[in-house]
Structure 1
Amino acid sequence: MKSTSPNQNFSLTSIFCSTFGHRYEKSKKITNHISEYKCKTCGQEVTNVVSGRIEILTFKNRKINACLSEFFQKKLQQTPTH
């Protein structure tokens, strides 16, 4: 008889978050309207996108946010103050 091993991704924190929801805190500000968030409990990272939705922070979203942040910082440096 073959024994089954528990799922490698199984953890109490993932059960807690799937039951009660994530506890996100802002980890990085990209622009005035876009930020990255990280769950205090399980460590899942998400970002809000231009359309207002929250998406999982994939490699593609991370690169987009890095370019957007760089562009935003350059824009702030060139803006004259009166």
Structure 2
Amino acid sequence: MKNLYCSLFGHEYKVAKKVTYHVKEYKCKNCNAQTTINGKGEMIPLTPKYKEINSVLERIHNRRVHNKKQKALIPDY
């Protein structure tokens, strides 16, 4: 029934996870279909390959943001 709704009216995607500032993972409110943004900015299905890519991107992004915050706290003399 839920897939029928999405096939008639389209998916209602909500942000499920923010990977970086630009890359997010989305989940359909009705049928729980998961998608993400690829390198070209297109929405594609979230496969195990893209889950792994997103987790690596998230780890790199968090490390860089954390390092920037640490450098901002250290005063320059």
Name the TM-score, length of structure 2 as normaliser. Answer: 0.87
Once the two structures are superposed, residues 19-73 of structure 1 have per-residue CA deviations (whole angstroms, 9 ceiling, x without a partner) of 1000000010000000000000000000012211000000000000000000000
Structure 2 counterpart of 1:68, which letter? L
The equivalent residue for 2:27 is 38
Match of 1:81 among 48, 72, 75: 72
Q: Answer 1 or 2: which has greater helix percent.
A: 2
Structure 2 match to 1:7 = none
Question: 13, 16, 21: which one pairs with 1:24?
Answer: 13
The TM-score normalised by the length of structure 1 is 0.82
- Please tell me the residue identity of whatever aligns with 2:60: F
After TM superposition, what 4+ stretches of structure 1 lie above 3 angstroms from structure 2? none
Aligned-residue offset at 1:81: 2.3
Q: Please, which runs of 5 or more residues in structure 1 have no aligned partner?
A: 1-11
Count of aligned pairs between the two proteins: 71
Unmatched tracts of structure 2, length 5 or more:
none
- RMSD across aligned positions (CA): 1.1
Q: Distance between the aligned counterparts of 1:31 and 1:49, measured in 2?
A: 12
